[in-house]
Chains A and B, each alone.
Chain A
């Protein structure tokens, strides 16, 4: 039923073999460069020469394009329209829409900022598609991230589908007692109350038991945690991370220097 709990797609590719931290740094580097680079076309170029080729290299291109077209493009498109209409910059009006002016400058501005957002979301998507969440967390824990923090991230990812399933059970239970979930909007809005109560309070009650369960398995043990899976961290990983860091520094330095 709930076998698929994350974005992660299991394939064997050069990207999948990279250390999780390298992929996090890659994602952050793409975002930082897209936002800081002084050159106008950087975000656009990053999509074409980095993110799209990387999705092919990671053999997740079909999933990547599906998410990009269904989710990221509409969001970026909406942002583009808002910025184009409401950004009060520029003189050269291209057309008027009642009292709103669309200028060449506002179009350029909108194009870049929506592209930056596109880079940000698609870089994250790419990382989530190629990185197993528990590998990422155990690697970060090994590098000093507090275990509690990693636990919160992973368990949230896992528990959301559980909450969904539970909400469905509660809906069925309340409907079998005559709760109206199919008539007018107002009535349905009212029927949310008997659903939220059991869901929220039930989940809170579960927290205590889950705390006991993980405590019983040494969760707060002061010993240094080990990991079942060995997570590769090769020399090329280290080199990639250094190169990316240097590129980000150059981008930020150029931004400061040129402004």
Chain B
């Protein structure tokens, strides 16, 4: 039995006419790192909310099919129980700051306080999580005084510290520089190797190819393609459906048309491109 199991999930927000998710079937194993790609409006964020329990518990609307994580079914659970197993961090870091805390350290401890973790455990867990994402130096700053990228790290740390079994990330690096992005992907990879299951919506194809185990391409609420990163991310289907390809893939596609790319499969990362062109 897969750790995450979506069966025929179709979902419609209360105010939309057409379903945002249509017949999604998806199985993810424990400790797997799955990346989700897709153009705007493909339903990526809705899929994240569905995994994290906010669809349908928070947004209401009509849902059919079943969503199971760690053997529990979403429709039979309540949101406050569900979030203990499934952590969600999303794109806009500013709105993820609780507003109830005056320092970054307290901000990260917020989730642990809410879930009733004893005081002696909170401090070491927050310290460990901050070391993991390399923000220990921000501990005493006000969360509002940070840059967008720093706030995104705080938002990610605030979820990691709760040690969810499934980590759902919706564009967690959108405001980060390349170094920050690489570090976040590295942290997420390590978490997956430690047994945490990860679903991450991301546009940065090179990083996905380097770090993720599997890619799901979403379009108009349906799964268009899924498989190994370098197969999915170089597929012609993606290029034809308006997905943004990595610059290396696009370059090599053009080169292939002109007979300059000799290998059968296209590159996603710099290393693959360098190897193929030389």
Contacts and interface: CB of A to CB of B under 8 A. Distances in A.
Nearest to A4: B142
A248 to B, nearest CB: 31
Contacts of B141: 3
A133 B102 CA distance: 9
Interface string A128-142: 000011100100000
Contact of B122 (A151, A155, A221, A228): A228
Given A155-B99, A226-B119, A212 B90 contact: yes
Tell me what chain B mostly uses at the interface: helix, strand, loop, or mixed. helix
**Residue of A147, A216, A225 with highest tally of chain B CB at under 10 A:** A216
Interface string B43-66: 000000100101000100000000
Contact of A216 (B52, B94, B100, B142): B52
Contact of A228 (B49, B96, B106, B145): B106
Contact of B115 (A210, A215, A218): A218
Interface stretch (B78-86, B198-206, B226-234): B78-86
Nearest to B168: A216
A257 to B, nearest CB: 45
A53 to B, nearest CB: 29
A173 to B, nearest CB: 16
A5 B102 CA distance: 8
Interface in A213-247: 213-228, 230
A3 B58 CA distance: 33
A210 B162 contact: no
B77 interface: no
A228 B114 contact: no
Contact of B58 (A150, A154, A212): A212
A186 interface: no
A226 B116 contact: yes
Chain B CB count within 10 A is highest, among A150, A158, A161, A217, for: A217
A63 to B, nearest CB: 18
Pick the 10 closest A-B CB pairs, nearest first.
A217-B111, A223-B116, A155-B99, A209-B95, A218-B114, A213-B96, A218-B115, A228-B109, A216-B88, A220-B80
Given A215-B79, A224-B116, A226-B113, 19 more contacts: A3-B141, A3-B145, A5-B102, A147-B114, A154-B99, A154-B100, A162-B144, A212-B49, A213-B98, A217-B110, A217-B162, A218-B114, A218-B115, A218-B162, A220-B80, A221-B80, A221-B84, A227-B113, A228-B105
27 contacts: A1-B144, A2-B144, A3-B141, A3-B145, A5-B142, A5-B144, A6-B102, A155-B98, A155-B99, A206-B94, A209-B96, A210-B96, A212-B88, A213-B90, A213-B97, A213-B98, A215-B58, A216-B87, A216-B88, A217-B98, A218-B83, A221-B80, A221-B83, A223-B114, A223-B116, A226-B112, A226-B119
Interface of A: 1-3, 5-6, 132-134, 137, 147, 150-151, 154-155, 158-159, 161-162, 206, 209-228, 230
